[in-house]
């Protein structure tokens, strides 16, 4: 693979050695790999067809001279999953999840570790130092063990114990630093300097940026398979790329990937970037919102999401600020609680269990859609950066499991089983009737309700059937659409209110329609609540449901 390292500050070109970390001319630590885009742009696409779907399929654009397959753990090639339920809930149908949990150690840091360790192995390096909030050290440890390298892993004491033990299990030396992540990085750097050991430099590590950019290549390639080619280009680009960030290495690399594809004519534009931070440690977001050119440092981060605790982003902020502004993107931050809630939504609606740091991206997505920054017609890719293994205590709250104790000595086995099952669930659950003509919307509302508690859900596909169902079953709550064939929702309400047995059954109207003042008058006093479709994620809806069925 022919490539050179170009200094971002003075433009000097030099060959690549992993251990030479500064520009030989001006000493800048900010450099990037440059390839012969003219040639690669023409020759790589046809070659891809016969290559496996992993990170190494783009090897002509990676800074490794001879990719060593014996180190591979199957990095890259993660699926791009359409989030149909989230899309319906948010009224934004084209949301895709880049599922980086499916990397070998379950976070997107596997790409960084795979490429960096390959480069270090190629250069004969056998020992290295990394500061980490957990996932980087886990990934490096896995690949270092395959490469026969020793890793000194500096982690802050707030990293979950499970993650620390995993690092140790791979054979790395864990060094716990009681202090902030930024301090932890300083201690690690000092240790590496004293011992002359190779150290990971975050976003200044050429191999890390190059590894991350493969996410952009995969997104464009996968979106092309799902949606077809671009208008005048072989590959397709989303409108948005959303990611939770700490130091911002991911989006810096991913932006470079999109830029390279644009240079090679594979795509014609770069998506809008939306980097998301946790409120308690959001130096880039607050600085961007104030229009600052340099980030104001957060010295003591106040988030429980340790993975995202970079308080001093340094120059990475300047790059990201430029990328966000160039692409009409947006920085945004969310609270820890928003992230935990998003974690539940993602798991319960899409079957994806993400770690709190990854959920920050989804909470950011919800916020940007609600604010109208991301439009309903936009195609959005959200990076699901890491898996929650295990779910941290505190995320679920109390009562998340039900205990069943089988067999006391006086009972026959049969009686014991029945009484145990009665403990699991009462015989009668609150009944909720969903009257809605769109089957997809019925399914979505059912799923939202099921994820919130135990209900008996009854469904009807038009007003007339709905009315008959309600009169027969006398549910505890009705969720009603307005525009339906046979009999519209307004008539259903009038009929219900005119009969004694159904007069007091609470009704929530869920509608996609903007109501006229006249229609609002007709509903006034007749229903308990009015919900716009696309706004079911709203806590109000769930609170409303809970308060209405007591």
Point out which residues bind ligand PLP (CB under 6 A).
107, 109, 135, 244-251, 307, 355, 357-358, 385-386
357 touches which of ligand PLP, Zn ion, none (CB within 5 to 8 A by kind)? Answer: ligand PLP
Residue 325 CA from chain centroid, whole number: 22
- Residue with Cβ nearer ligand PLP (248 or 461): 248
User: Which member of 13, 20, 26, 472 binds Zn ion (CB under 5 A)?
Assistant: 26
**Contact status: 528 vs Zn ion (CB under 5 A):** no
The Cα-based distances of 4 to 7, 33, 64, 341, 467 in angstroms read: 10, 6, 11, 45, 72
Stretch that binds Zn ion, among 26-34, 97-105, 189-197, 474-482 (CB under 5 A): 26-34
Residue 391 is classified by DSSP as P
Residue whose CB is less far from Zn ion, 28 or 462? 28
Q: According to the binding rule CB under 5 A, does residue 24 interact with Zn ion?
A: no
- Residue placing its CB nearer to ligand PLP in the complex, 87 or 275: 275
CB of 144 within 8 A of CB of 128?
yes
Residues 6 or more apart whose CB falls under 8 angstroms from that of 156 comprise 133, 176, 177, 178, 179, 180, 181, 184, 306, 309
Token pair of 76, please? 């890259």
Q: By the 8 A CB rule, do 229 and 261 touch?
A: no
When asked if residue 10 is in the footprint of Zn ion (CB under 5 A), the reply is yes
The residue among 12 and 522 lying less far from Zn ion, judged by its C-beta, is 12
Of Zn ion, ligand PLP, none, which one does residue 7 interact with (CB within 5 to 8 Å by kind)? Zn ion
The strands making up 507-511's β-sheet, listed across from edge to edge, are: 456-460, 431-435, 477-480, 507-511, 529-532
Minimum gap (Å) between residue 44 Cβ and ligand PLP: 25
**Interface stretch with Zn ion, choices 7-15, 36-44, 189-197, 435-443 (CB under 5 A):** 7-15
When the beta carbons of 107 and 222 are compared against ligand PLP, the nearer one is 107
Query: Could you say whether residue 480 binds Zn ion (CB under 5 A)?
Result: no
Q: 47: which 2 tokens?
A: 């070659």
406/54 Cα distance (integer angstroms): 48
Choose the contact partner of 245 out of ligand PLP, Zn ion, none; CB within 5 to 8 A by kind: ligand PLP
Q: Shortest distance, CB of residue 22 to Zn ion, whole angstroms?
A: 8
Helix (H, G, I), strand (E, B) or coil at 275: strand
Q: Which does 135 bind (CB under 5 to 8 A by kind): Zn ion, ligand PLP, none?
A: ligand PLP
Q: How far is the CB of 68 from ligand PLP (least distance, A)?
A: 25
Is residue 12 within the footprint of Zn ion (CB under 5 A)?
yes
Which residue, 78 or 135, is less far from ligand PLP as judged by CB?
Answer: 135
Can residue 315 be called a binding residue for Zn ion (CB under 5 A)? no
With CB under 5 to 8 Å by kind, the binding choice for 40 among ligand PLP, Zn ion, none is none
| 225 CB-near residues (< 8 Å, 6+ apart) | none
Q: Binding string to Zn ion for residues 73 to 92, with x set by CB under 5 A, is what?
A: --------------------
**Rounded Cα distance, 485 and 277, in Å:** 46
Binding to Zn ion by residue 48, rule CB under 5 A? Answer: no
307 binds, among ligand PLP, Zn ion, none (CB under 5 to 8 A by kind): ligand PLP
Burial of 387 (0-12, 13-18, 19+ CB in 10 A): buried
Binding-site partner at residue 508 among ligand PLP, Zn ion, none, CB < 5 to 8 Å by type: none
Q: What DSSP character marks residue 372?
A: T
Compare residues 22 and 186 and give the one whose CB is closer to Zn ion.
22
CB of 245 to ligand PLP, least distance (A): 4
Does 7 sit near Zn ion (CB under 5 A)?
A: yes
Q: How many CB atoms lie within 10 A of CB 144?
A: 27
Of 306, 326, 288, 383, the C-alpha closest to 133 is 306
Query: Exposure string (b/e) for 322-339, b if CB count within 10 Å is 16 or more?
Result: ebbeebebbbbbbebebb
Closest approach of Cβ 352 to ligand PLP, in Å?
A: 13
Q: Which is nearer to ligand PLP, 162 or 439 (CB)?
A: 162
- Residues of this chain, 346-385, that bind Zn ion according to CB under 5 A: none
Closest of 479, 246, 249 to residue 360, by C-alpha = 246
3-state class (DSSP) for residue 350? helix
In terms of DSSP bridges, do strands 3-7 and 31-35 run parallel, antiparallel, or are they unpaired? antiparallel
The DSSP-derived string for 447-511 is HHHHTTS--EEEEESSHHHHHHHHHHH--SEEEE-SS-SSS-HHHHHHHHHHSTTTTT--EEEEE
* Least distance between ligand PLP and beta carbon 85 (Å): 22
**224-231 long-range contacts, CB within 8 A, separation 24+:** 226/80, 226/82, 226/96, 227/379, 230/267, 230/268, 231/268
- Using the contact rule CB under 5 A, the part of the chain among 18-26, 88-96, 278-286, 453-461 near Zn ion is 18-26
**Minimum Å distance from CB 61 to Zn ion?**
23
Indicate which of Zn ion, ligand PLP, none lies near residue 246 (CB less than 5 to 8 Å, by partner kind): ligand PLP
Q: Which residues bind Zn ion (CB under 5 A)?
A: 7, 9-10, 12, 23, 25-26, 28
């Amino acid at each position: 693979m022919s490539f050179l390292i170009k200094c971002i500050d003075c433009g000097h070109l030099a060959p690549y050695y992993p251990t030479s970390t500064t520009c030989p001319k001006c000493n800048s630590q900010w450099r990037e790999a440059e390839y012969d885009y003219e040639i690669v742009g023409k020759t790589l696409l046809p070659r891809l067809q016969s290559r496996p779907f992993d990170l190494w399929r783009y090897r002509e654009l990676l800074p490794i001279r001879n990719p060593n397959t014996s180190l591979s753990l199957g990095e890259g090639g993660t699926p791009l999953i359409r989030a149909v339920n989230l899309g319906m809930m948010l009224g934004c149908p084209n949301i895709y999840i880049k599922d980086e949990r499916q990397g070998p150690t379950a976070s997107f840091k596997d790409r960084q570790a795979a490429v960096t360790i390959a480069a270090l192995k190629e250069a004969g390096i056998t020992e290295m130092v990394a500061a980490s909030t957990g996932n980087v050290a886990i990934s490096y440890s896995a690949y270092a063990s395959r490469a026969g390298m020793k890793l000194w892993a500096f982690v802050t004491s707030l990293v979950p114990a499970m993650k620390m033990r995993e690092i140790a299990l791979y054979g790395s030396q864990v060094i716990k630093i009681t202090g902030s992540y930024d301090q932890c990085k300083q201690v690690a750097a000092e240790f590496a300097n004293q011992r002359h050991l190779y150290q990971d430099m975050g976003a200044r590590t050429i191999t890390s940026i190059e590894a991350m950019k493969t996410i952009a290549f995969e997104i464009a390639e996968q979106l092309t398979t799902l949606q077809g080619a671009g208008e005048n280009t072989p590959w397709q680009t989303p409108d948005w790329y959303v990611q939770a960030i700490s130091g911002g290495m991911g989006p810096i690399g991913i932006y470079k990937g999109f830029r390279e594809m644009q240079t090679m004519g594979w795509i014609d534009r770069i998506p809008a970037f939306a980097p998301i931070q946790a409120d308690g440690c959001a130096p880039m977001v607050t600085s961007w919102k104030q229009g600052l050119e340099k980030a104001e440092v957060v010295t003591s981060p106040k988030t429980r999401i340790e993975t995202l605790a970079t308080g001093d982003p340094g120059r990475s902020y300047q790059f990201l600020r430029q990328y966000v502004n160039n692409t009409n993107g947006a920085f945004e931050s969310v609270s820890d609680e928003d992230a935990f809630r998003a974690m539940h939504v993602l798991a319960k609606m899409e079957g994806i269990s993400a770690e709190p740091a990854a959920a920050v991206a989804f909470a950011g997505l919800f916020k940007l859609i609600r604010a109208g920054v991301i439009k309903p017609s936009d195609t959005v890719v959200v990076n699901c950066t890491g898996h929650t293994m295990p779910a941290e205590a505190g995320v679920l709250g109390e009562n998340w499991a039900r205990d069943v104790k089988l067999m006391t000595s006086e009972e026959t086995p049969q009686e014991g089983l029945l009484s145990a099952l009665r403990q699991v669930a009462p015989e009668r659950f609150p009944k909720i009737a969903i009257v809605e003509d769109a089957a997809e919307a019925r399914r979505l509302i059912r799923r939202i309700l099921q994820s919130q508690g135990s209900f008996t859900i009854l469904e009807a596909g038009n007003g007339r059937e709905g009315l008959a169902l309600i009169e027969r079953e006398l549910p505890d709550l009705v969720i009603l659409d307005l525009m339906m064939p046979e009999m519209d929702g307004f008539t259903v309400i009038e009929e219900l209110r005119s009969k004694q047995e159904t007069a007091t059954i609470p009704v929530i109207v869920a509608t996609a329609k903007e109501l006229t003042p006249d229609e609002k008058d007709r509903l006034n006093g007749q229903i308990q609540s009015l919900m716009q479709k696309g706004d079911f994620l709203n806590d109000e809806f769930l609170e409303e449901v809970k308060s209405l069925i007591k």
